[in-house]
């Protein structure tokens, strides 16, 4: 009853032309936790993220952030409130340098982002902070390289550094380890653990090993609705979950 | 960075000596279209927005300046100023409507709005309809520089061009320009970082429209003529060609592209190939898009990088 929720959805629904992708979802994300959203492909996880950040408009239902209704806010406004997302496909600015990627996020709070008559040298005062952030994800030595030339794992780490630059209260990560080799998976999940200290994280994740290691609470989504919720033990021993999702990957849980 | 300033210096020197080597009117035409294409490229090359209606701003600059100078006897500097402002205001209205759309729909909205402007200029009582406005006086700049003198006119045009060049260069390398590049590179990500991307696109659109208007205003004084050609959708297409040919997303590409197109047109229109001018431009366009996508300046930069780095 007295749990402290950063984010809540109430009866969230999204229909695409008669097809219900998100069906009456009630999420309660506790402050300071790592909350994982899992489920088979096409279950509606990315769609939930798109609704939370208003890249899609909900058909019905409510979204509460710190108890305030943010259902009618626009994407950029939600980001400024402190809810910042990453994307399933790595979201970087390919033809900016690694440093510039982070700096463009830091720049927003400077209030000079419309100043077209000023030299961009004024942004150099953000470089120290940008390097600090890059350092925290192990990218400081690549600061001046062009992002497009970086390997996939580094791009995902850069994406996290860029998100951290906004110091978001709630971070939404959509499959942060997808398509990564074993080593990158380990380093990114360590990184997520590290950055979760002062904030709340809601993440979509397919890798159950990562989920078991990181998540305080898990919600299982199936065909748009929540099948069950709880910690890893509870969820992984649920027979319906095994059937719907874990059944096919018994060896992964072992 | 040093390299860019070096190239700017070369540009200024070339601009200063050009009228002693080439026909001043020919170079002024290149400078006006060069500015027009650079303004267009600010949107296409640096925000990733393809406007198919920029003729409206070139035409508005030309008509407003022509009308004010001829009918109200306004000085050339104020004529140019108000022509530019008028184009900027029109850009604010068109831009507001267009930036809500993306990709091909953005292009279609700009085209449709530019067609409205075209029909307005065709029908409005002060524009001279099909004939346009002719015999517009060049006047005296700041009350003491007689623009009927062809060198005076030339250096005025050069000054206007260099101002436009400076403003575009500054915009690209400003905090604002940094956000524009982010939007070009990954719009959803820019949005998710909290930027109201449509507002940034809108401001870029207004700057671009104003500078296109500045090009039109200046061109009107040079040729003492404001005509429907400048507001026609052909002109919107030609600026796309100039920019792609020269190299979109590069600072000098649009100027090189404009110079190439103007030179080819001048060369052809006199000779017996004049009737085939559109076909020839079309072929150049196709070759450019298929064979060397980065344009003249873009390919040149690639070549330099490969061989001298
Ligand atoms: N913009 C859209 N229009 C129509 N259908 C969509 C759209 N986005 C997602 N869907 C559908 O919604 C379902 C859930 O997709 P998604 O949220 O991407 O699943 P996942 O859980 O794998 O992230 C899928 O069947 C998908 O085809
Ligand atoms: Mg997904």
Domains of chain A with CATH codes: 1-82+170-182+200-254 (3.40.50.300), 89-167 (no CATH)
Contact partners, residue A141, CB within 8 Å, separation at least 6 = none
How close is the nearest chain A Cα to the Cα of B46, in Å? 11
Read off φ and ψ for residue B51, nearest 5 degrees. Answer: -85, 135
How close is the nearest chain B Cα to the Cα of A89, in Å? 11
Helix (H) or strand (E) holding A227: strand A225-230
Answer yes or no: is B304 within a domain: no
Residues recorded for chain A: 254
- Tell me whether A17 touches chain B (CB under 8 Å): no
Residue B68, domain extent:
23-232
**What are the structure tokens assigned to B140, written together?**
């005296």
Per-residue pLDDT at A250: 46
- Tell me whether B191 touches chain A (CB under 8 Å): yes
Cβ B240 vs Cβ B37: under 8 Å: no
Angle in degrees, CA B299, B304, B305, rounded to 5: 95
Read off φ and ψ for residue A112, nearest 5 degrees. Answer: -115, 20
Answer yes or no: is B244 within a domain: no
- Looking at beta carbons, which residues of chain B come within 8 Å of A86? 192
**What are the structure tokens assigned to A190, written together?**
């360590």
Provide mean pLDDT across the span A96-119.
93
Ligand 2 center to B170 CA (angstroms): 40
Q: Which of A76, A100, A104 sits opposite B196 (nearest CB)?
A: A76
Helix (H) or strand (E) holding B185: helix B175-185
Answer yes or no: is B267 within a domain: no
CA distance B33 to B48: 21
Answer yes or no: is B15 within a domain: no
**What are the structure tokens assigned to A32, written together?**
């300071």
Residue carrying the six token digits 């809500």 = B100
> Between A28 and B141, whose confidence is greater?
A28
Q: Is A190 helix (H, G, I), strand (E, B) or coil?
A: helix
CA distance B168 to B159: 14
Q: What angle in degrees, to the nearest 10, is found between the helix axes of B295-308 and B253-270?
A: 130
Answer yes or no: is B308 within a domain: no
DSSP 8-state code for residue A244: I
**ipTM summary value:** 0.86
Alpha carbon B27 to chain centroid distance? 15
Of A49, A3, A24, which Cα lies nearest the Cα of A174? A49
What domain count does chain B have?
Answer: 1
Ligand 1 center to A148 CA (angstroms): 28
Contact B200 A114 (CB under 8 A): yes
CA distance B155 to B19: 9
Cβ B297 vs Cβ B246: under 8 Å: yes
CA distance A214 to A35: 9
Average pLDDT across chain A, whole number: 89
Contact A107 B178 (CB under 8 A): yes
Of B129, B148, B151, which Cα lies nearest the Cα of B138? B148
Instruction: Tally Cβ neighbours within 10 Å of residue B143.
Output: 8
> Between B5 and A211, whose confidence is greater?
A211
CA distance A124 to A120: 8
Distances (CA, A) of B1 to B7, B92, B131, B180: 10, 32, 47, 20
Cβ A21 vs Cβ A43: under 8 Å: no
Nearest-by-CA chain B residue for A124: B175
Alpha carbon A220 to chain centroid distance? 16
How close is the nearest chain B Cα to the Cα of A181, in Å? 24
Helix/strand/coil percent split, chain A, to 5: 45, 25, 30
pTM, two decimals, is 0.89
Answer yes or no: is B114 within a domain: yes
Per-residue pLDDT at A1: 47
Residues recorded for chain B: 309
pLDDT tens sequence for chain B (309 residues): 445 578 888 888 898 988 888 899 999 999 999 999 999 999 999 999 999 999 999 999 999 999 999 999 889 999 999 999 999 999 999 999 999 998 899 999 999 999 999 999 999 888 888 888 888 898 888 988 888 888 999 999 999 999 999 999 999 999 999 999 999 999 999 999 999 999 999 999 999 999 999 999 999 999 999 998 898 898 999 999 999 999 888 999 999 999 999 998 888 877 777 778 878 888 888 888 788 778 888 888 888 888 876
Ligand 1 center to A15 CA (angstroms): 10
Residue carrying the six token digits 């649920």 = A238
Answer yes or no: is B307 within a domain: no
Task: Tell me which residue has its CA closest to atom 14 in ligand 1.
Answer: A44
Answer yes or no: is B227 within a domain: yes
Contact partners, residue B155, CB within 8 Å, separation at least 6 = none
- Tell me whether B112 touches chain A (CB under 8 Å): no
Per-residue pLDDT at A252: 46
> Between B201 and A251, whose confidence is greater?
B201
Strand partners, B146: B140
What is the torsional sign of CA B300, B305, B306, B309? positive
Alpha carbon B253 to chain centroid distance? 12
CA distance A202 to A37: 7
CA distance B257 to B243: 6
Angle in degrees, CA A231, A235, A237, rounded to 5: 125
Distances (CA, A) of B261 to B57, B266, B277, B279, B294: 20, 9, 11, 13, 16
């Amino acid at each position: 009853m007295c749990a402290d929720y950063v984010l809540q959805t109430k009866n969230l629904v999204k229909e695409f032309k008669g097809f219900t992708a998100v069906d009456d979802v009630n999420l309660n994300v506790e402050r300071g936790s790592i909350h994982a959203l899992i489920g088979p492909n096409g279950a509606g996880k990315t769609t939930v993220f798109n609704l939370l950040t208003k890249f899609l408009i909900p058909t019905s239902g409510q979204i509460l952030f710190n108890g305030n209704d943010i259902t009618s806010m626009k994407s950029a406004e939600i980001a400024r409130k402190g809810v910042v997302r990453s994307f399933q496909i790595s979201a970087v600015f390919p033809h900016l340098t690694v440093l510039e990627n982070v700096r463009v996020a830091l720049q927003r709070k400077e209030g000079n982002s419309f100043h077209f008559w000023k030299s961009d040298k004024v942004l150099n005062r953000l470089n120290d902070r940008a390097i600090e952030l890059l350092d925290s994800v192990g990218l400081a030595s690549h600061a001046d390289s062009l992002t497009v030339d970086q390997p996939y794992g580094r791009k995902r780490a850069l994406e996290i550094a860029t998100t951290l630059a906004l110091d978001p209260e709630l971070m939404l990560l959509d499959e942060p380890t997808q398509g990564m080799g074993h080593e990158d998976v380990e380093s990114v999940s360590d990184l997520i653990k590290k950055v979760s200290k002062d904030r709340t994280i809601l993440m979509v994740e397919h890798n159950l090993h990562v989920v078991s290691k990181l998540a305080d609470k898990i919600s299982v989504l199936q065909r748009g609705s929540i099948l069950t919720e709880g910690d890893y033990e509870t969820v992984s021993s649920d027979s319906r979950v095994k059937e719907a999702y874990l059944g096919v990957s018994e060896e992964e849980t072992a | 960075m040093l390299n860019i300033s070096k190239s700017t210096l070369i540009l200024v020197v070339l601009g200063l000596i050009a009228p002693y080597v080439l026909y001043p009117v020919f170079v002024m035409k290149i400078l006006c279209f060069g500015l027009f294409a650079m303004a267009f490229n600010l949107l296409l090359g640096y925000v990733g927005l393809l406007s198919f209606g920029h003729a409206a701003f070139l035409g508005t600059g030309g008509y407003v300046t022509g009308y004010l100078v001829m009918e109200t006897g306004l000085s050339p500097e104020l004529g140019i100023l108000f022509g530019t402002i008028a184009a900027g205001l029109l850009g604010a209205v068109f831009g507001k409507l267009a930036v809500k759309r993306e990709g091909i729909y953005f292009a279609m909205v700009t085209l449709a709005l530019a067609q409205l402007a075209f029909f307005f200029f065709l029908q409005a009582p002060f524009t001279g309809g099909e004939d346009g406005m002719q015999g517009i006086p060049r006047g005296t700049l700041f009350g003491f520089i007689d623009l009927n003198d062809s060198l005076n006119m030339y250096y005025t045009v050069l000054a206007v061009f260099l101002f436009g060049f400076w403003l575009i260069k500054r915009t690209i390398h400003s905090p604002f320009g940094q956000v524009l590049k982010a939007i070009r590179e990954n719009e959803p990500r820019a949005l998710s970082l909290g930027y109201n991307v449509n507002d940034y696109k809108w401001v870029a659109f207004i700057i671009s429209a104003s500078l296109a208007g500045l090009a039109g205003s200046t061109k009107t004084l040079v040729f003492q003529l404001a005509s429907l050609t400048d507001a026609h959708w052909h002109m919107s297409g030609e600026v796309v060609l100039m920019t792609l040919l020269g190299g979109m997303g590069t600072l000098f590409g649009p100027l090189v592209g404009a110079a190439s197109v103007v030179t080819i047109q001048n060369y052809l229109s006199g000779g017996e190939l004049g009737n085939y001018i559109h076909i020839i431009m079309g072929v150049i366009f196709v070759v450019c898009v298929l064979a060397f996508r980065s344009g003249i300046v873009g390919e040149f930069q690639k070549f330099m990088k490969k061989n001298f780095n």
